[in-house]
Amino acid sequence: MSLTPLHAIFALMSLFTVGGAVGVVLNRNLIYAAMYLVLSLFGIAGLFILLEAPFLAAVQILVYVGAISVLITITVMVTRCVFCKEPPPRQLTLVAVMAALVMVTLGFVIMTRFGGLTPAADVPADSIEQLGVAFVNPQAYLVPFEVASILLLGALIGAIFIARDDLPRDEEAVGGDDHA
């Protein structure tokens, strides 16, 4: 098997994804951790492109790299202490061991039991068109599509309910945004 530029791109994107994720976990500064998260999410978008899933890549960029990262950054900045260094987590070793265990188990199952991986069929050129049809086709995703809208509505009501500030506040919150 010869190395192609594709392999190099895959390696780079994987490095972004995994390295970013490690950065998120190990960085004690929340803002930096959020930036590492953006890197990781960007790497995933690259991987989607390599998998020839352009729509998913676009979703990844628009929703995750675009919106979720903004939300997370703002959420960090809403917290009491933005640039505080968090103390290192106490159970880091335990968690690392657990994560490694899960990875080895899943890796084992996939490697040993899925030796005969069959290459996927070619991605059709009109995959986005097909998805558009599938969203409104009851045999495909019509129910999830409509349920998703109700789910978004529920989340919207919840978000407004949580963030609205017409409630009596505790002193802390009032002291927090005196500069607004």
Partner 1 sequence: MLVQQYLPIAILVLFAIIMALIVVFTSVIFGPHRPTKKKLAPYESGMTPIGPAVRRLPVRFYLVAVLFILFDVEIIFLLPYAVVIRQLGLYGLIATGVFVVILTVGLLYEWKKGGLDWE
Partner 2 sequence: MNLPTLESINLLAVLPVLIVFGWTLVLLVIDLFIPSGRKYWTAWLGILGLLGAAVALAVRFIDARGAAVTAFDGMLTVDGFSLFLQAIFILTAVIGILLALDFLPRHKIERGEYYILLLFTTGGMMIMSMAADLIVVFLALELLSIPLYILTGFARPRADSEEAAMKYFLLGAFASGFLVFGIALTYGGTGTTSLVGVFNQLAEGEPSRDLALVGMALILVGFGFKVAAVPFHMWTPDVYQGAPTPVTAFMSVGAKAGGFAALMRILIVAMPAVGEAWGMLVAILAMLTMILGNVVAIAQRNIKRMLAYSSIAHAGYILVAVSAAQRPEDAPLAVSAAIFYLLTYAFTNLGAFGVVLAVEREDGSGNLLEDFAGLGRSKPVLAAIMTLFMLSLTGMPVSAGLVGKFFVFQAAINASVGNPWILAAAIVGIVTSVISAFYYIRIILIMYMQEGEPQVVLKPALTVALALTALATLILGIIPAPVFQLAKDALLTLVG
Helices (H), 27-119: 30-50, 54-59, 69-78, 92-113
Interface with partner 1, residue 15, by CB under 8 A: no
Interface with partner 1, residue 131, by CB under 8 A: yes
Q: How many residues bind to partner 1 according to rule CB under 8 A?
A: 55
Interface with partner 2, residue 150, by CB under 8 A: yes
Distances in whole angstroms, Cα of residue 144 to Cα of each of 128, 136, 153 = 17, 10, 14
60, two tokens? 């990844």
Torsion of CA 21, 27, 32, 35, to 10 degrees: 0
Between residue 121 and residue 140, which ones bind partner 2 under the rule CB under 8 A?
Answer: 133, 137-139
120, two tokens? 């996927």
Rounded Cα distance between 142 and 135, Å, is 5
Residue from 78, 96, 98, 104 that binds partner 1 (CB under 8 A)?
78
179, two tokens? 């500069």
Q: Binding residues for partner 2, per CB under 8 A?
A: 105-106, 109-110, 113-114, 116, 133, 137-139, 141-144, 147-148, 150-151, 153-155, 157-158, 161-162, 167-170, 173
Q: Binding residues for partner 1, per CB under 8 A?
A: 6, 9, 49-50, 52, 54-55, 58-59, 62-63, 66-68, 70-71, 74-75, 77-83, 123, 128-129, 131-133, 135-136, 142, 145-146, 148-150, 152-153, 155-157, 159-160, 163-166, 173, 176-177, 179-180
